[in-house]
Amino acid sequence: DVKVTQSSRYLVKRTGEKVFLECVQDMDHENMFWYRQDPGLGLRLIYFSYDVKMKEKGDIPEGYSVSREKKERFSLILESASTNQTSMYLCASSFLRDYQINIQYFGAGTRLSVL
Amino acid sequence: GQNIDQPTEMTATEGAIVQINCTYQTSGFNGLFWYQQHAGEAPTFLSYNVLDGLEEKGRFSSFLSRSKGYSYLLLKELQMKDSASYLCAVMDSNYQLIWGAGTKLIIKP
């Protein structure tokens, strides 16, 4: 079974803190994604990566950055946390397949509260 | 803009059948996905449709009409464990997933 592991299930941080959310997958997937999930909204893509040291902005990258130093690990960084970044953060991974079913596998999520 | 619409919440009875609808307007179409998400857990893949018609997988079936921009997920013989949110997502021309807000399904005994 594919396993996507997020380092924390719950985090409480203060405004202005630098926050690291870690995600590791064990299926040798090329693609990795960071989403945020808020009530009443669909998942929104923050950043994604197709390869080591490669990153692409998603729909809502402002206030976030990412790092992918190893294929299995994709980190989301909040440089200076703000209260509007309180949310559920979901990491996902998938194979790089342009013409086949591109199923994304998700971690259990990190619920971040910024006070 | 791109838009995925699905009902916010539905209620059904154990043992019954429920149909969850999803309509979409996206820039390009490379398939439609249904995911299940139990409260506090990761979304998990249920089904994928890229051609028109019905795909059946056990108690769950998914239907697609590309000309109408419409899909539904059909759940038969409902069980209490089917209580979850069901997420509809469309892969656009850039192979990115556009997500609906999800339908919370409540199963009553």
Residue given tokens 């209260």 in the structure block: A83
Contact (CB<8Å) A43/B31: no
C-alpha pair distances (Å), A22 with each of A10, A49, B21: 12, 14, 35
Average pLDDT score over residue span B11-36: 96
CB contact under 8 A, A42 and B101: yes
Compute the mean pLDDT over every residue in chain A, rounded to the nearest whole number: 93
DSSP summary character for residue B67: T
pLDDT score for B4: 95
Query: Given a cut of 90, is residue A66 above it in pLDDT?
Result: yes
Question: Which of B20-24, B36-40, B60-64 has the least mean pLDDT?
Answer: B36-40
Alpha carbon of A16: minimum distance to chain B alpha carbons (Å): 27
Q: What is the mean pLDDT of residues A76-95?
A: 96
Which residues in chain A have their CB less than 8 angstroms from residue B44's CB?
106
Cα distance from A50 to chain B (closest Cα, Å)? 12
Please provide residue B65's backbone torsions phi and psi, each rounded to the nearest 5 degrees: -130, 105
List the structure tokens of B107: 């199963």
Q: How large a percentage of chain A has pLDDT more than 70? A: 94
pLDDT of the residue at A40? 87
Q: pLDDT tens digit string along B73-102?
A: 999 999 999 999 999 999 988 888 999 999
Q: If you ran DSSP here, which 8-state letter would residue A79 be given?
A: S
Helix (H, G, I), strand (E, B) or coil at B81: helix
B2 vs A: CB within 8 A:
no
Query: Which chain B residues touch A101 with a CB distance below 8 Å?
Result: 31, 48
Beta-strand pair B53-57/B44-49: unpaired
Q: How far apart are CA A26 and CA A23, in angstroms?
A: 10
pLDDT at residue number B1: 74
Tell me which residue of B78, B92, B87, B82 sits closest to B22, measured CA to CA.
Answer: B87
pLDDT surpassing 80 at residue B5: yes
Q: CA B31, CA B18: separation in Å to the nearest integer?
A: 23
Residue tagged 């990491």 (tokens): A91
Nearest to B42 among A40, A102, A109 (CB): A109
B105 neighbors B84 (Cβ within 8 angstroms): yes
Interface check B7 vs A, CB under 8 A: no
